[in-house]
Structure 1
Amino acid sequence: MFREEAIEVIRKAITEEGILASAQRKDNYARVWARDSMMTGYAGILICDEEILNGLEKSILTLAKHQAENGQIPSNVVNGRASYGTHVGRTDATAWWIVTTCEYLGITSDDALRVSLKEKIYQALSCLKTWEYNQRGLVYSPLGGNWADEYVTSGYTLYDNVLRYWALKNTSEIYNDHELKVVAEQTKNLIQQNFCKNDSNAFRYHETAYAKAKTKPYFWASLNANGYDERFDLAGNALSVLLDFEINIDAFSEFLNIVSNEFKHWMLPAFYPVIFPGDDDWRLLENNYSYSFKNQPYHFHNGGSWPIFLGWLCLGLKKKGVRGIPEKIITEYETLMNEKGELFREYYSTDKLLPLGTEQLCFSATGYLLMS
């Protein structure tokens, strides 16, 4: 229904530096963000849109040009100036750049580009390796260190580690690197054995915390020195399903149905349950922002619904043969855009389904393309 509109939003955001975060080209959104431009470029790969693919290549090269000495990819670039994060660095920027750069190299016949980017990709992987800190296999992200930069998750996060696995996997395939393939498989197994209850005798990162953690129908959000954050991280779980991690898909689908029934719609929250004033984690929320506080209950990262990650969820579920839930999600999203008359807003509040945040966001246009 809105496919052409989604594509047009993305095309309007393409500049000589790459794909900006929004077609509106205002404020912080008039930048080439690593995670935004790479996810948007991934959609361009899926739909084989030459104009978006051209923008993706520009984004790849712009970000590569500003790669830091340690291999880190910038969080964003604007007018030739790079930012690697404000309060903290962004772990997922480096991983997303590797993932989608390799996906792009897999469809292009430009062998010279593949050769020229190899060193930068391996430098970026080396940077991710240093972020293990303890050399035990999982990447550690500081509070605010990924897309949910004003939220409460930190430590060995599901989302960042699944992305790191994807980066290793893609690089090993593009450069036919058997040693890296082994590392990728080891990383996947490490995540599998440490982010959900299972009966294996595999190595546990934190034996005491693992023993105390409760069984869930999804992968836990993160692990820290003080234990597990057992909340539901939609983005991390969506990517886990897409990348064929072992999960009981029937139990997972039933959990999604339960959450949908609780909220009475299918614009599922990015994180669940919602954090309220008085909850233990509220103190981690209330001061963690740059310009204004957005994480009121049901808003932004705190229970807000993000079409971009619903898109990844739909893509993963359909890969597993689950059709009903993706159909319900895209129908709900199309209905909201029709009723509200606003296309591709940043997120929706999950209590009143208000379209909020920036308009004409490539993130949300990309989410729609992934859904459909």
Structure 2
Amino acid sequence: MFKEEALGVIRKAITEEGLLASAQQRDNYARVWARDSMMTGYAGILAGDDAVVKGLGLSVFTLAKQQAENGQIPSNVIQGKASFGTHVGRTDATTWWTAITCEYLKVSENRAAQEQLREPLYRALSCLKTWEYNQRGLLYSPLGGNWADEYVTSGYTLYDNVLRYWALRNVSELYEDEELKVLASEAKVLIQENFIKNGSGTAKYHQTAYEKASAKPYFWAALNANGYDERFDLAGNALALYLGFELDLPAFSDFLTEISGRFNHWMLPVFHPVIFPGDEDWRLLENNYSYSFKNRPYHFHNGGSWPVFLGWLCLGLKRQGMYNIPERILAQYEALMQEKGNHFSEYYSTDELLPLGTGQLCFSASGYLMMIHEDSLPSNNDAL
């Protein structure tokens, strides 16, 4: 229904430096952001759109040119000037760039570019290795160190570690590196064994915290020295499903249906439960912002619904053989855009379903393209 409009939004954001964050090209959005441009470019790969894939290639090289001495990829670049973060650096700039650069090189089949980017890719992986800090295999992200930069998650986060696994896997496959293949496999096992209750009996990263953590039908959001953050991180779980991690799918489906029933719609919150004033984590929210406070209950990271990560959830669910929920999410999103206008808004409040934030956002247009991507859909729709 909105496919050509979504692609049009993204095409308008293509510049000589690469894919900008929004077709509106204003304020901070008129930059080549690592995570935004990589996700947008990947949606272009899925859609088979040559113009968007070309824009992705421009983004890849723009970011590579500004790579730091330690291998870190910038959070964003504007007119040749790089930013690596304000309050803290952005862990996921390096993981997204590494993983999706490999995806770009696969589809472009550009051998010269593959060789040109070999050294930057390996330097990026080396940087990620230093961010383990304890050399035990899991990546550590500071508070505000990823896409949810004004939220409360930190430590050994699910989202960042799943992305780091994808980066390792993709580089190992692209360059046929057996040592990296082993590291990728080990990273996947560490995540699978430490972010959800299981009966494997293997030693855990933080045994005491693991024993005290509650069983959930999803992967926990993060692990820290003081225990687990057991909240639901939709983005991290969506990516985990897409990359082949194992969950109890009927239980996970029931959980998503329960959350939908609680909110009375399928614009699922990106983090759950919502944090309210007086809650223990509120103090971590109230001062963590750069320009204005956005994380009121049901808004932004604090229970807001982000179409880009609903798109990743749809991809992940379909790859795992679950098709009904993606159809419901797609129908809900299309109905909202028809009813409320403001197409491809940054996020929706989950209490009133208001389209909020920047409009014409490539993030959200990408999410829509992921929602409608049908390569994984079967000929019938009688699965979960």
- TM-score range normalised by the length of the shorter chain: over 0.9
What's 2:369 paired with? 369
Name the CA distance, whole Å, in 2 between partners of 1:97 and 1:150.
21
Counterpart position of 1:165: 165
SS of corresponding position for 1:138: coil
1:216 partner SS: coil
Q: Secondary structure at the match of 1:107?
A: helix
- Pairs within 5 Å for 1:68-79: 68-79=68-79
C-alpha displacement of 1:107: 1.2
> Residues 103-122 of structure 1: CA distance to partner in whole angstroms, max 9, x if unpaired?
01111221000000000000
- The whole-number CA distance in structure 1 between the counterparts of 2:209 and 2:127 is 28
Q: Does 1:144 align with 2:144?
A: yes
Question: Alpha-carbon deviations, 1:48-73, whole Å to 9, x = none?
Answer: 11100110000000000000000000
Q: CA deviation at 1:181?
A: 0.4
Residue in structure 1 matched with residue 59 of structure 2 by the alignment? 59
Deviations 1:304-345 (A, max 9, x none): 000000000000101111111000000000000000111000
Superposed displacement of residue 20, structure 1: 0.2
Q: What is the distance in 1 between the residues matched to 2:107 and 2:355?
A: 35
Counterpart of 1:301, as a letter, is H
Where 1:136 maps in the other structure, the secondary structure is coil
Amino acid at match of 1:345: S
Amino acid corresponding to residue 247 of structure 2 in structure 1: I
Q: Distance in 2 between matches of 1:231 and 1:124?
A: 29
Task: Note if 1:236 corresponds to 2:236.
Answer: yes
Counterpart of 1:4 in structure 2 is: 4
Instruction: Give the Å deviation of 1:47.
Output: 1.2
Q: How does 1:280-359 map to 2 (within 5 A)?
A: 280-359=280-359
Deviation string for 1:185-230 (max 9, x for gaps)? 0000000000000111223111110000000000000000100000
Following the alignment from structure 1 to structure 2, what is the Cα–Cα distance between the partners of residues 145 and 52? Answer: 27
Aligned amino acid, residue 13 of structure 2: A
Deviation, structure 1 residue 163: 0.2
Letter in 1 for 2:331: T
What residue identity is the alignment partner of 1:20? L
Gaps of 5+ in 1: none
The match for 2:29 is 29
Q: How many residues of Structure 1 are paired with residues of Structure 2 in the alignment? A: 372
1:270 and 2:270 are equivalent in the alignment: yes
Q: Which runs of 4+ in 1 moved over 6 A?
A: none
Alpha-carbon separation, structure 1, partners of 2:235 and 2:7 = 22
For residue 192 of structure 2, what is the aligned residue in structure 1? 192
Unaligned runs of 5+ in 2: 373-384
TM-score, scaled relative to structure 1: 1.00
Q: Secondary structure at the match of 2:77?
A: strand
User: What's 1:96 paired with?
Assistant: 96
- Aligned residues: percent identity? 73
CA distance in 2: counterparts of 1:319 and 1:117, whole angstroms: 29
Which whole-Å CA distance do the structure 1 matches of 2:208 and 2:59 have between them?
A: 43
Q: 1:267 Cα shift?
A: 0.1
Report the Cα distance in structure 1 between the residues aligned to 2:361 and 2:132, rounded to whole angstroms.
33
Task: Give the Cα–Cα distance (whole angstroms) in 2 for the partners of residues 321 and 201 of structure 1.
Answer: 28
Calculate the TM-score normalised by the size of structure 2: 0.96
Structure 1: distance between partners of 2:294 and 2:157: 22
